[in-house]
Amino acid sequence: MGDVSRSAVGGAVYAPAMASRPRYPIDHEPELTVHSAVHRFDDFAEVVGVKKPGGGGCWCMSYRDARLSNTERPEYMRAECATEPGPGVLAYVDDEVAGWCSVAPRSSYRRLMNSRTIPFVDERDAWVAVCFVVRAGFRGHGVMHTLLDGAVAHAAAHGAEVIEGYPVDLDSTPAADGSENADGAVDGAAGVGTAPAGGRVDVISGYVGTVRLFEQHGFHRVAETTAHSGGRTRWILRRELG
């Protein structure tokens, strides 16, 4: 795909051959598409996988089951990408994979089922768009908007009655220490420092999306949580699909 060559995933390390980093094109208006991650594990690994030999990372397992070791995580996600409905959606810019959104029923996220900071709204098994990753060369071009639209469509296509997210409220007052809590950080993301006061949040803490993003796509605030990202409050936002 594109100008990136890939090698097989072995253990916890995904090591593509050296190539120029793809970027959002500036010489034409690209085509943006979204596809389910089913049968697209290599593209998922390109966005989320660990590139450093021997390195560890989340592999989008923080909410699913953080108990798994670094060597177990990629194989777990490979299996998830092999069957419907899959673990999420991938965004493409002119057929080059550009971003990832983890979207699945809340019941599939062990961490959310046991969360002390993100409550259940009702008895329905809401689908959750819980995590966004956009590759460095494609940031600042609205890829997260494309991903959220695709996540909603994916959930609806698989019979979801409602979809929700737990984004950060950029208008909330940052905690003095920029603190995260047990239900509000990706592996290794805690302690990223004080959140800025100008309505922005750093890339790591912004993986949950923003309230503004979700509201622009038809979601509505339901409840404030006691979870934080980048020191700022996270809300439950919902969109009815049924």
Model pLDDT, residue 85: 97
Residue 217 lies inside a defined structural domain of this protein: yes
Q: What is the residue range of 143's domain?
A: 32-240
Model pLDDT, residue 175: 67
Residue 103 lies inside a defined structural domain of this protein: yes
Report the distance separating Cα 72 and Cα 59, nearest Å: 10
Q: Is 146 left (phi over 0), alpha (psi -120 to 50) or beta?
A: alpha
Report the distance separating Cα 164 and Cα 52, nearest Å: 33
Residue 7 lies inside a defined structural domain of this protein: no
In sequence order, the 6+-apart residues with CB closer than 8 A to the CB of 207 are 131, 132, 133, 186, 189, 229
Residue 51 lies inside a defined structural domain of this protein: yes
73 with 59: CB under 8 angstroms?
A: yes
Model pLDDT, residue 29: 92
Report the distance separating Cα 55 and Cα 10, nearest Å: 12
Model pLDDT, residue 181: 53
Residue 176 lies inside a defined structural domain of this protein: yes
What's the count of helices (H) and strands (E) in the chain, helices before strands? 6, 7
Tens digit of pLDDT at every position of the chain (242 positions): 333 333 334 444 444 444 578 999 999 999 999 999 999 999 999 999 988 777 788 999 999 999 999 999 999 999 999 999 999 999 999 999 999 999 999 999 999 999 999 999 999 999 999 999 999 999 999 999 999 999 999 999 999 999 999 999 998 877 655 445 544 444 333 222 333 444 566 666 789 999 999 999 999 999 999 999 988 999 999 999 97
**Sheet architecture: strand order including 232-240:** 32-36, 88-93, 96-105, 127-134, 162-165, 232-240, 220-229
Residue 193 lies inside a defined structural domain of this protein: yes
Give the CATH number of the domain where residue 183 resides.
3.40.630.30
Q: How far does Cα 148 stand from its chain's mean position? A: 10
89 with 101: CB under 8 angstroms?
A: yes
Model pLDDT, residue 189: 32
Model pLDDT, residue 55: 75
Number of domains in the chain: 1
Residue 151 lies inside a defined structural domain of this protein: yes
Residue 21 lies inside a defined structural domain of this protein: no
